Structure 1
């Protein structure tokens, strides 16, 4: 059988200037694939946007809490939503002689300094601004004007230490409008009970910015309010000096509180001036009686007959009298002194 011969033929590559086929022709997709791809891109973009929104919300939330803590968030809150349970107030809840002035200022100029409240979830707890809140309540009751139905308030972050809240309330009132010693004493006693402290320790905490002497006065008024607070209608009107005298009277005279109670019940003072008159009567010193009480001491009378005439000697408590018809002022002082010394020596005096 004859063999077939195989020849290797090498062809020169042909030069061509044609560009490769367009990519889109090589990767052409159907409508379904294109839709899926577009949905995936949209989902990725949405997830990215949501992540950015969450990050922004977290940042704003932290910023909001920080602003609340710094007292920079102000809102109008309904009067009925503000409670006063957390702190014992350092102001009288029945009388405030300057409340009318504050109401006039609010009517004319508005409230320049918002109250401070803590958000409790179902309302608000008053932290600062008792007088301002009282003024708004009074204005709303008197006028019915809806602009007084809500009050501007700074929202304070929840959970601040109770001691710090008390200190803030006390320092505000001591700086802006000095409160009475009776109100400070009552607050110290209430805080001591709430925190299970001695009154002096409570005073040291609440009135740390006050001087030592002032803290001593507050302690005295705290004792005064503990003994007489239930009897008094206008304790905030008691001056410092009168309050200290009352405390001393209570310490020296155990029945003084009972006596004061009887006086107040009998006279029924209807204002601060009348009540102060009763208190002053209690601490007034007792008048000295013009007639001395009959003496119960013994009395001795001796009559002596002398060449120069009769002499009468009377001895009583604290006194020896010598009665005689003689000018003792003309006697030599040295002889008179010697005679008296001899008398005293004879009596062992």
Structure 2
């Protein structure tokens, strides 16, 4: 059996010598603990940027987050092709644009560009519906037609996300009230059309919602303007030329039952301008104001506004709405894919149907 060696406790001098030797070995040649080498290699491989560049990167990251949030809120304008924007999705308060004012806007955009983007909202088929900017869109479309398809083919737009069609119509009305003036008749017309389009169940509801920021007196007047559109919208040639006072007087005549007489007068007269149209209306209005209304005239009974066909998809991204009155029917087709040749085909088929 091997003889075991007896271990002895080192002396103090021996321990000191061991410590001094260890210290000499670990400091020789600048040796460091292994973890220090790992950290140094990681820092070297990551190639850290100087402080000024790191600050710039942080600012870029913050700007990107701000831009993303602005886009989500519809605060960043994007370029949208003109063909993808529909103007008749909403019942518009503006009937048309005066040519002189439009041409002035066309020249301004041609020389200086469009300073204020239009407002739109996205539709299910991928196209866009106009909220505000009817005149600006019309001007850019005219420029596009003048220069050809390569220039002014798109327009800057803010893409909004209204919660409902009511909110979209409200935004349109507010924008036009602040900017270019809308005629009194047009104010009432958009409320009446919203009712007939099924957006509201009654005229009172339409006026109260669309003109909620207006005074009670102004809303009452707008109801009178809407009555004119309901009774005479298909007969008047120059309704936009009517002043507020003229509109209120005409509405008063309609309320006492002179609607049929007024329609008959408009149907049998040649109307060349706004002055001539008012001259035809005035005798009947004065008759109503004096209280000498012939009861034999009668008058059309007042009916609650009925919600018109809200519209339906008929294929190829085309939407059709049908409006019915007592003596007429209107058909509205809309959609980004709608072309002139389609309209010609539809008209030809209608003519063929009724000529048989």
Normalising by the smaller structure, the TM-score range is: 0.5 to 0.7
Q: Which has the larger radius of gyration?
A: 1
Q: CA deviation at 1:132?
A: 1.1
Contact 1:136 1:151 in 2 (8 A): yes
Instruction: Give the superposition deviation at 1:61.
Output: 6.9
The separation in 2 between residues aligned to 1:178 and 1:8, in whole angstroms, is 109
Q: Of the candidates 90, 97, 101, which is equivalent to residue 87 of structure 1?
A: 90
Seen in structure 2, the aligned counterparts of structure 1 residues 84 and 239 have a Cα distance that, compared at 3 Å, is same
Post-superposition Cα deviations, 1:92-138, rounded to whole Å, max 9, x if no partner, equal: 04766632232232223322211012233612221211121112122
Are the structure 2 counterparts of residues 144 and 7 from structure 1 closer, same or farther at C-alpha, using a change threshold of 3 Å?
closer
Q: C-alpha separation between the residues in 2 aligned to 1:7 and 1:198?
A: 112
TM-score by length of 1: 0.59
Instruction: Please provide the CA RMSD for this pair.
Output: 4.3
Any gaps of 5 or more consecutive residues in structure 2? 27-44, 46-59, 289-356
Partner Cα separation in structure 1 for residue 22 and residue 120 of structure 2: 77
- 1:222 and 2:192 matched: no
Q: CA, structure 1 residues 11+223, in 2 after alignment: closer, same or farther (shift >3 Å)?
A: closer
The answer to which structure, 1 or 2, has the higher relative contact order (CA under 8 A, 6+ apart) is 2
Aligned equivalents of 1:126, 1:103: Cα separation in 2: 19
**Contact between 1:221 and 1:244, CA under 8 Å: does it hold in 2?**
yes
Aligned to 2:194: 191
- The one-character-per-residue Cα deviations of 1:268-312 (angstroms, maximum 9, x if unpaired) are 4344444334333543559xxxxxxxxxxxxxxxxxxxxxxxxxx
Paired residue secondary structure (1:177): coil
Residue 117 (structure 2) aligns with? 114
Equivalent residue for 1:74?
77
Is 1:249 the equivalent of 2:244? Answer: no
Q: In the alignment, which residue of structure 2 is the partner of 1:27?
A: none
In 2, the alpha carbon distance for the partners of 1:8 and 1:97 equals 115
TM-score between both structures, scaled by the size of structure 2 = 0.58
Q: C-alpha distance in 1, partners of 2:98/2:159?
A: 27
Aligned length: 260
Counterpart CA distance in 2 for 1:264 and 1:7 is 134
Which segments of 5 or more consecutive residues in structure 1 lack a partner in the other structure? 23-41, 43-55, 287-349
Cα deviation for residue 204 of structure 1 reads 1.6
Instruction: Pick closer, same or farther for the CA change 1:266–1:202 going to 2, 3 Å.
Output: same
Residue 201 of structure 1 corresponds to 205
